[in-house]
Structures are given as structure tokens and as C-alpha cells.
Amino acid sequence: MVIGAVRLPADPAVLMAGPIAAGLAVAVLLAVRSASPRLVPAVVIAAGAASIAVTVLMRTAVGTGAEPGAVTGLWILLEPALFLALVYVPVRWSPPGVAAAAASAAGAASALVVQRFLPGDPFWADLAASALWLVPSLGAAALAWYLRWTAAERERAALEARREQRLRLAGELHDFVAHDVSEIVARAQAGRMVLAVGDPKMAKLLEQIETAGVRALGSMDRTVHMLRDEAGARSPVGGLDDIDELARRFAESGRTEVVVDRRLSADVGRENGAVAYRAVVEALTNVRRHAPAARSVAIELTDADGWLRVSVADDGPGEPRSGPRSSAGLGLPGMAERAASLGGTAEAGPRRPHGWLVTVRLPLPDDDMHGVTT
């Protein structure tokens, strides 16, 4: 550009100041954009101010209205072209506030270049000319903003996918580990009643194991609560077909008889099955933690009048209590939240003459969309 200024000067020479300032600004941006991004808006604003100063000088001192020559015309076209880059760069990479200021300065300078050669009368004609010269700068700004927005959306989508994956893994880890730790607690409780009779040391050891297991369950509860978002949805880890195996494992881990009464005539749907499975997991784990002496647990799965009803009832000893049991999982609020997301309800409370009852009701899908199970 310097060689061009020497060999092909513009007439008047002051017209070369704007393109040279813009060219130097582009060179500086190429050199410092990655290393010193904060300098980008300052450099663009400085180049825009220099160009506007040349326009003011031409309008007030040198004079306007002269027909530019061929060489001078090249300098005139070079300046707006360079300012397109000076509009694009800050909008694409600078912080929004300073990006707007820098892009405005560069766009205004580009739009005012034409004013150096207009007679200034009438005013609306000059304004229309500058508006026309502003269009390329607006296009560069729109392109830069679109690319910036799409990049931000891709990053946001990636972060959201990673966050949901972590929540899903945390939920699945909670369900599986809570089930196994609860089994350890149940075996420790059974050992205290069977093996530790008359042996204080053994009783103390099994009590410590039970306490540590319950504490581990509580820690997992708190951790998952912190990880969950407000919606709280987690991917399912089981369905209705897995409830029999869940009941068998529960019964084998202690001395509690588990009876599954399955009276289903229609396909309840995958989402309903996942919520029902989670409700049974919560209820059985509650039995282990709060009613280890329960002799039997009844699980009923029925559908009638367009609703799936899942109930888990235990015969834990003692009078029914009005206060809720704390859950080894995410508790009744979590079950109610998941059921409500499907249009259903979840309730839990004491039953007569003793024990606890958990009931979940979920709306069945339309018959024309799901086949009948055998």
C-alpha cells in the first residue's frame, strides 16, 4: 500500500489517508487478534476516526464535487473494502458491547466516504448515498453475527449434551449403587438379628456396617440432588419387565417375601413402564431403610379405566406414622414429579393396621397406538 501511494498517488493526496489507516488497522488485527483481542476494538475505532476525519477535512477545507480520476477511484473503492474487514472482525470475535461500538465506527466511516465527492445539496440525496454505501457494512456485520451465533449454539448444544449425559450417568449410578448398598444394609440388619445374638463385638461391627451404608446412601442422595436440574428428568434404567427380577433380588437379600401381582391387559407404554420401575425401586429401598423387620411386600400392577396403577405395600411393624419416610432415592417429590410429567400422580403414606403404601397412577396410552399384550 505504501508503494502504491508513492507510485500511484491519489488526487488530492489526502484521500490516501483513509485507505492507509484502514490497511494498517487490518494488518494490526491480523497480528494481534489472537494474542491481544482487547486491542481489536481500539484499532478499529482509531481507523474509523481517521477516515471520518478525512471526510470532514474534504467537506470543509479541500472541497467536494470534483470528478475523481481513475487512480483516485481505485483508492476510493479500496477504503470501503478494507472497512468491511474492520466491521466483520469485532462483530465476530469481540465482546458484544465494544463490538457494537467498533463496528459502528467502521460502518459510519465506510458510509461517509461518498460524502467527499458529493456537492452537499440536497441533503436527502447525500443521506441516501451514504445509506447505500452502508449496505455492504451491514451485510458484513450480519454475516459475522450469524457465524458467531451458530458457533455459540454449537458450543451450547455440546455443553448441554455433556451435562445431560453426566446427569444420566449420575442417575443410573445412583439407582444401581443405591440398590446394592441397600442390600448390604439389609444383610447387616439381618446379621444383627441372627448372627450377633450374645456377641457384642459382632453386633457392634454389623451396626457400624449398617450405619456406614445408610450414610453412603445419604451422600449419594445429596450429590444427585445437586446435579439435577429443575426439570429433574433422568433416563430410565428399567421397565415393567424388570420388576420381577428386582423383586427376586430384594427377597433374596433378606427375609422379606415379595409378591408381584401383575394384572395388565394392555401395553402401558415405555415411559409409563420406566416411571413405574423407578417407583418400585424407591419403595423397596425405603422398606430396607425404614422397615427392615417387614415380613412381606406386595407389588400390584393393574390397569383399569385408562390408568396404570402401581402400588407397593409393606407390613412393617408398629403403628402407622403420619410423617413421610425419607427416601433412599429422590423421594416422593421426585416420584411425583416424574409421574406428573406424564399426567399422573404419586402418593405415599401409612396403611392400616401397620406398614406403608406407595401408589402411582399413570394415564395409559391410546389403544390405537399400542397393541394388546398377552
3-state helix, strand, coil in the chain (%, to 5): 65, 10, 25
The pLDDT score that the predictor gives to residue 223 is 67
Residue 209: its H or E element: helix 200-227
pTM (two decimals): 0.48
Nearest Cα residue to 248 out of 326, 333, 183, 318: 183
The answer to whether residue 324 scores a pLDDT higher than 60 is no
Asked whether residue 154 is domain-assigned, the answer is no
Say if residues 294 and 355 touch (Cβ distance below 8 Å).
Answer: yes
- Which residue's C-alpha cell is 403403628? 319
Question: Do both 110 and 177 map to the same domain?
Answer: no
Question: Do both 111 and 217 map to the same domain?
Answer: no
Say if residues 222 and 214 touch (Cβ distance below 8 Å).
Answer: no
Question: Do both 115 and 172 map to the same domain?
Answer: no
* DSSP E strand boundaries for the chain: 257-263, 296-304, 307-314, 345-350, 356-363
Structure letter (DSSP) for residue 313? E
Question: Do both 205 and 88 map to the same domain?
Answer: no
Question: Do both 310 and 210 map to the same domain?
Answer: yes
Question: Do both 112 and 233 map to the same domain?
Answer: no
The pLDDT score that the predictor gives to residue 235 is 46
Question: Do both 238 and 295 map to the same domain?
Answer: yes
Question: Do both 95 and 181 map to the same domain?
Answer: no
Number of domains in the chain: 2
Asked whether residue 306 is domain-assigned, the answer is yes
Domain membership of residue 357 as a residue range: 163-363
* DSSP E strand boundaries for 176-314: 257-263, 296-304, 307-314
The pLDDT score that the predictor gives to residue 253 is 72
Question: Do both 210 and 332 map to the same domain?
Answer: yes
- Triad 287, 290, 295: Cα angle to 5°: 50
| Residues 160-207: tens digit of each pLDDT | 877 777 777 777 677 777 777 777 878 777 777 777 667 788 878 888
Asked whether residue 158 is domain-assigned, the answer is no
